[in-house]
C-alpha cells in the first residue's frame, strides 16, 4: 500500500472492558499478534519476559500491559493505548482496568471510542462489572458494542452456554441506548474467532472479531448536520507576505463548512461569510470532522480563542447553567457549591455546582437521591452555574461540544468529566 492510501484509511478507536482476569490484555495481544501487527523486537521482548515469569507460552497480555510495575503486580491499573493496522483499517485501542475503583479510567478510555468490546467470561456469564462497563459505554455515547464471550475453550465451546449469556445480556442491554450489538464466541488464549474462524464453533455463523472491527460502519456516527467550529487560535502572522492575514484555527467538531457559507460567531452573534479554508498551506473548498483547519472570513470581526463559529441557520445553545452527567475522578469528594474551573472545547470559565439531583448505582442503574458525598468513581447528575456563557449541544448530539472537564483551582488537577444533557 502506498503512503497516501495508508493515510486515507479509516481509523477506528475502540475500548476494551471486562472484569479482572476476563482476558482483555490477552485479547488485544492476540489481535495484534495474529494480524501480524507487532515488530520482531516486540515479540522477542515479550517472549523473554514470559520466560522470566515462568509462563508456559508467550504471554500476549504483555503487549498491552504498559508499565513494568503494573505487570509485576499482575493487574493493569491505567489506560494502555495501543495502535495497529490491517490493510483495511487503522486502529487505536484503549485497554482499561476492570476494577470498580478504576471507573474513571474507563471513562477516559471510552470518551473518544467509536466501539466498545465487552468481555464476558463464558463460565460466569453477565456479572455486575459487565453491567457497569456497558452502562458507561452507553453514557459516553458509544454506538457499537461487541460482546466477546471469552474462554469458550473452558466450557467446551458450548453453543448452549453462549446463547444463555447472549440472552442475559440482551435482557440487560434493553435498558441502554445502544443500537448496534454483536455477539462473538472467542478464546483469546487459543485464538478462536479473534482473527481466524474457529473450527471449534462450527455452529457460529457470524464474523470473527477482527472482521467485525474492520467492517463496522462508523461514518454515520459523525454529526455532519450541526456545524461547529471552536476557535483554538487566532492567526495573525504580521509578515510582509501575509500583511493583512487574519485566520481562525481549530478542529471541526460537527457539520460541513464550505467557502461562501454564512456563519455566526458566538457568543457575540456577529454574522459573516467564509472567505477561504486552509488545510496546512493548501486551500480547500470544504471541511468536516475531525479536520483541523484555518478559516478566514469576509469581514473583520472580533473573534478570540474560546469563541465558536457555526452556520447562521443552525446554532448551538448559549447557556450559563448546565445540566450534566458527571463522573467524579478525584480522591477529594466534590464540594457542593464549590467553585471549579470548567473547560469546554477551547473555552474556560468558572463554575459552581449548584446541586446534585441524584447518583447512579452503576451496577444496577438505579438512581439514588441520598445526600452522601460524591466520591471518586461516582456518577451523578448535577447542575452547574457558570460565570460566562458557553456554546453547547447535548452530549448525545455532539460529543465535542457536549462535554466538559472540571478542574480544581487549587491543585490544577482534573477532578471530573461531564456529559451535558
pLDDT tens sequence across 16-45: 887 766 677 778 777 877 777 766 666 677
> Can you list the domains of the chain with their CATH numbers?
3-221 (3.40.50.300), 228-311 (2.40.30.10), 317-420 (2.40.30.10)
pLDDT at res. 309: 97
Q: Cα 92 to chain center, whole Å?
A: 10
Average pLDDT over residues 165-169: 96
Average pLDDT over residues 136-164: 94
Cα of first residue to Cα of last residue in the chain, in angstroms, is: 43
More confident of the two residues 329 and 4: 329
pLDDT at res. 67: 41
For 81-85, 320-324, 408-412, which range has the lowest pLDDT when averaged over its residues? 81-85
C-alpha cell of 348?
A: 474556560
d(CA 109, CA 169): 22
Residue 256 reports pLDDT greater than 90: yes
Number of H helices, E strands in the chain: 8, 22
What is the average pLDDT value for the chain, to the nearest integer? 87
Q: Are 296 and 275 in contact (CB under 8 A)?
A: yes
- The per-residue pLDDT for range 224-239, each reduced to its tens digit, is 999 999 999 999 876 6
Neighbouring CB atoms inside 10 A of 336's CB total 14
Residue 152 reports pLDDT greater than 80: yes
pLDDT at res. 108: 78
Burial 36-69 (b: 16+ CB within 10 A, else e): ebbeeeeeeebeebbeeeeeeebbbbbbbbbeee
Residue 359 reports pLDDT greater than 80: yes
Residue 249 reports pLDDT greater than 90: yes
d(CA 116, CA 118): 6
Q: Are 329 and 406 in contact (CB under 8 A)?
A: no
d(CA 251, CA 99): 34
Name the pairing type of β-strands 180-185 and 144-150: parallel
Instruction: Look at the alpha carbons of 146, 150, 152, 153 in this order and tell me if their dihedral is positive or negative.
Output: positive
Using alpha carbons, select from 285, 114, 135 the residue that is nearest to residue 216.
114
Using alpha carbons, select from 140, 112, 148 the residue that is nearest to residue 14.
112
For 7-16, 139-148, 280-289, 343-352, which range has the lowest pLDDT when averaged over its residues? 7-16
Residue 92 reports pLDDT greater than 80: yes
C-alpha cell of 12?
A: 477506528
pLDDT at res. 21: 67
Q: How confident is the model at residue 70 (pLDDT cuts 50, 70, 90)?
A: very low
Residues 6 or more apart whose CB falls under 8 angstroms from that of 233 comprise: 248, 249, 250, 305
pLDDT at res. 68: 43
C-alpha cell of 375?
A: 466520591
The single residue listed with the C-alpha cell 461531564 is: 418
Amino acid at each position: 500500500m502506498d503512503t497516501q492510501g495508508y493515510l486515507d484509511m479509516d481509523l477506528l478507536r475502540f475500548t476494551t472492558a471486562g472484569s479482572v482476569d476476563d482476558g482483555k490484555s490477552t485479547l488485544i495481544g492476540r489481535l495484534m499478534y495474529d494480524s501480524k501487527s507487532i515488530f520482531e523486537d516486540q515479540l522477542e521482548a515479550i517472549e523473554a519476559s514470559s520466560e522470566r515469569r515462568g509462563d508456559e507460552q508467550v504471554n500476549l497480555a504483555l503487549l498491552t500491559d504498559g508499565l513494568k510495575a503494573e505487570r509485576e503486580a499482575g493487574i493493569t491499573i491505567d489506560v494502555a493505548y495501543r495502535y495497529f493496522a490491517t490493510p483495511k483499517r487503522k486502529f487505536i485501542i484503549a485497554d482499561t482496568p476492570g476494577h470498580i475503583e478504576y471507573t474513571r479510567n474507563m471513562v477516559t478510555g471510552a470518551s473518544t471510542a467509536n466501539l466498545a468490546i465487552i468481555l464476558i467470561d463464558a463460565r460466569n456469564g453477565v456479572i455486575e462489572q459487565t453491567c457497569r462497563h456497558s452502562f458507561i459505554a452507553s453514557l459516553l455515547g458509544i454506538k457499537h458494542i461487541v460482546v466477546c464471550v471469552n474462554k469458550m475453550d473452558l466450557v467446551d465451546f458450548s453453543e448452549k452456554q453462549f446463547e444463555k449469556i447472549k440472552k442475559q445480556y440482551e435482557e440487560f442491554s434493553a435498558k441502554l441506548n445502544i443500537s448496534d450489538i454483536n455477539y462473538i464466541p472467542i478464546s483469546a488464549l487459543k485464538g478462536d474467532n479473534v482473527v481466524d474462524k474457529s473450527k471449534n464453533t462450527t455452529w457460529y455463523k457470524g464474523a470473527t472479531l477482527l472482521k467485525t472491527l474492520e467492517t463496522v460502519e462508523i461514518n454515520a456516527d459523525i454529526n455532519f448536520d450541526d456545524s461547529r467550529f471552536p476557535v483554538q487560535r487566532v492567526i495573525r502572522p504580521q509578515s510582509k507576505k501575509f500583511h493583512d492575514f487574519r485566520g481562525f484555527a481549530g478542529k471541526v467538531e460537527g457539520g460541513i463548512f464550505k467557502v461562501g457559507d454564512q456563519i455566526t460567531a458566538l457568543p457575540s452573534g456577529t454574522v459573516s461569510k467564509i472567505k477561504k479554508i486552509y488545510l496546512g498551506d493548501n486551500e480547500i473548498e470544504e471541511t468536516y470532522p475531525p479536520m483541523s483547519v484555518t478559516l478566514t472570513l469576509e469581514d473583520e470581526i472580533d473573534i478570540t480563542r474560546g469563541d465558536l463559529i457555526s452556520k447562521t441557520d443552525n446554532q448551538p445553545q448559549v447557556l450559563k447553567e448546565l445540566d450534566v452527567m458527571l463522573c467524579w475522578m478525584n480522591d477529594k469528594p466534590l464540594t457542593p457549591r464549590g467553585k471549579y474551573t470548567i473547560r469546554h472545547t477551547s473555552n474556560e470559565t468558572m463554575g459552581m455546582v449548584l446541586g446534585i439531583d441524584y447518583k447512579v448505582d452503576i451496577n444496577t442503574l438505579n438512581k439514588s437521591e441520598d445526600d452522601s458525598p460524591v466520591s471518586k468513581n461516582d456518577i451523578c447528575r448535577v447542575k452547574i452555574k457558570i460565570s460566562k456563557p458557553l456554546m453547547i449541544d447535548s452530549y448525545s448530539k455532539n460529543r465535542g461540544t457536549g462535554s466538559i472537564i472540571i478542574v480544581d483551582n487549587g491543585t490544577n488537577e482534573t477532578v471530573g468529566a461531564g456529559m451535558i444533557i
